[in-house]
Structure 1
Amino acid sequence: MASRGQGTVSSYAGFDKEADCGALRKAMKGLGTDEQAITDILAFRSNAQRQEIVIHFKTSYGKDLLKDLKSELGGKYEDVVIALLDKPAFYDAKSLRGAMKGAGTDEKAILEIMCTRTNQEIKSIKEAYKKEFKRDLEKDLMSETSGHFKRLMVSCCQAARDESPTVDEGKANADANAIYKAGEAKWGTDESEILRVLATRSFAQLRATFDAYDKISKKTIEEAIKSETSGDLEDGFLAIIGCARNTPAYFAKRIRDAMQGAGTKDQQLIRCIVSRAEIDLGTAKMEFLRMYGKPMSEWIKDDTSGDYKKMLIALVRN
């Protein structure tokens, strides 16, 4: 899989877990909680360093840091703090479970995770899901989806996408023709053939396929998918295409979508910023400015408030 960009959060050079634990304990002692002190630590440590803090806090004080924070915090600020302290695979597993629980299913949240993670990340998510919920992720996804969208989710669960950077131009031409014949060139659509290509090829290979498609069709691959599919399957195919073309740009769109319209989709915003902070959020921030002409941090300032806003802006690195 191609490089996905530059993050905004990395390992803190002057990391001192004992000092951080002491500062966090002090921030929670007495009347009121010093949220800024918590932000100044957690937003500037890598996830691996935060895991060390969690262990050292319990070792030093005999108390669970997450439980202490939950008892002191609340609302959306608590949500982002807990997300930062979760291990990435567990956070994704928890997000997937939340997207499938209760009335209705958040298909776009499922796609955002299942169509953008590497093979190893998917394997780790499946293990975390099994460990935490005593359930099988693939079976749960199958029970919550249907038709070709279900097949796409099953394919993603196999964590077997080709991740080689090598591009085979002959295969790209063959795949482009296969997609064309399965869609535009026939009455009805052979979704299975399109799925076969989009779900198995490396992102580098898919980019070559999209270029080849441009040469045989008057439509772009995105336009063809929109005209030949609909609903969740269309969203799934477009998510894969978007990530294959430019993963940071895909997440820039997801972040903007979370802040558009009436009310902010807080969990979507938190998930996109926290999950990409160490991967490609820095690049997504640049794509955001290019696409929308306004810094990501400015959108966050306008659409969020209080300590929640300060934490998100700290992670974005205004």
Structure 2
Amino acid sequence: MPEGTVTAYAGFDKEADAAALRKAMKGLGTDEQAITDVLAYRSNAQRQEIVLQFKTAYGKDLIADLKSELGGKYEDIVLALLDKPAVYDAKSLRKAMKGAGTDEKALLEIMCTRSNSEIKAIKEAYKKVNKRDLEKDLMSETSGHFKRLMVSCCQAARDESTAVDEGKANADANAIYQAGELKWGTDESEILRVLATRSRPQLNATFDAYARISSKTIEEAIKSETSGDLKDGFLAIIGCARNTPQYFAHRIHDAMSGAGTKDDQLIRCIVSRSEIDLGTAKLEFLSLYGKPMSQWIKDDTSGDYKKMLIALVRG
């Protein structure tokens, strides 16, 4: 079973935590380490209790106080930790679509990896927080088959059963084969139909069936038959069906590879997976890249931001 790194703190005391955060922000300067010591070691549900307790005890908004005291990437990760998961995803999606250009990989990372119930919660949060409709925004900011993939994901209607139908797997594998390798030009719609609707166990059976009828793996076929954002989307769905923690290990590595760190991506992956499967993603990361995730973070980031990341990863 995939495991997170952050769990509910056994000795949780919301009054003591609210007081510690208040103390960390009083007087000259801010004690970022004290803030990290509280927020990195509490579950999201416990953080929500702290926010309510802070306002009750001091008549002040914790998030507003933190915004006034903090800055930069450390402020970004602290605020991410204080959002409910669906709210944070909704804000991340809006950020990916605002301004010049769209961050398609951020859209994929969220829309192609969340469960039906999570997508439904994100849609509600998006409307509440952004006063906008998620599906309409996705349609206006994307195009072609990639837009159709985003709209499909937005329906939150993927089959989530655990039963596997081998006959259907063989039929779907053949349909993808006929739509791609055996066709002059690619029928992306047929590939989308299979990848966007089937459960993850069913998809894995389809991938196995595909390997029996083709000389290529499903990943190799998608890379040769599609391109751009649609290819990335299909590969994200395949990667999550095969091994979700491994997919996020790749995303975390990608955030720290090349020139400069993709801080939004790094924060999003670590915060969003911290209570789900970040512990398992750490093991995948070590296996894939030969160096612990925490060591990569130490080498690639700095300051209080680095300390918070390492605390969440649990070294």
TM category (shorter chain) comes to: over 0.9
Matches within 5 A, 1:119-158: 119-158=116-155
Structure 1 residue 246 corresponds to structure 2 residue 227: no
Q: Percent identity?
A: 85
* Equivalent position amino acid for 1:135 in 2: R
SS class of match (1:15) = coil
- 1:115 equivalent among 108, 112, 117: 112
- 1:44 equivalent among 41, 44, 54: 41
SS class of match (1:249) = helix
- 1:183 equivalent among 171, 180, 183: 180
SS class of match (1:7) = coil
Take 2:5 and 2:201, find their aligned partners in 1: how far apart are those partners?
Answer: 24
TM-score w.r.t. the length of structure 1 is: 0.98
- Matched residue, 2:56: 59
Q: Post-superposition shift, 1:96?
A: 0.3
Matches within 5 A, 1:273-284: 273-284=270-281
SS class of match (2:240) = helix
- 1:33 equivalent among 27, 30, 33: 30
Take 2:261 and 2:12, find their aligned partners in 1: how far apart are those partners?
Answer: 34
- Matched residue, 1:13: 10
SS class of match (1:79) = helix
Q: Post-superposition shift, 1:292?
A: 0.4
- Structure 1 regions of 5+ residues with no counterpart? none
List per-residue Cα deviations over 1:125-169 (Å, max 9, x = no partner). 000000111111000000011111111001000000001111111
- Matched residue, 1:196: 193
- Structure 2 regions of 5+ residues with no counterpart? none
* Equivalent position amino acid for 2:91 in 1: K
List per-residue Cα deviations over 1:39-66 (Å, max 9, x = no partner). 0100000000000000010000000000
* Equivalent position amino acid for 1:160 in 2: A
Q: Post-superposition shift, 1:203?
A: 0.6
SS class of match (1:19) = helix
Number of residue equivalences = 315
- 1:269 equivalent among 260, 266, 269: 266
Take 2:132 and 2:71, find their aligned partners in 1: how far apart are those partners?
Answer: 29
TM-score w.r.t. the length of structure 2 is: 0.99
* Equivalent position amino acid for 1:67 in 2: A
Take 1:14 and 1:303, find their aligned partners in 2: how far apart are those partners?
Answer: 33
SS class of match (2:11) = coil
Aligned structure 1 segments of 4 or more residues deviating by more than 2 angstroms? none
Q: Post-superposition shift, 1:31?
A: 1.1
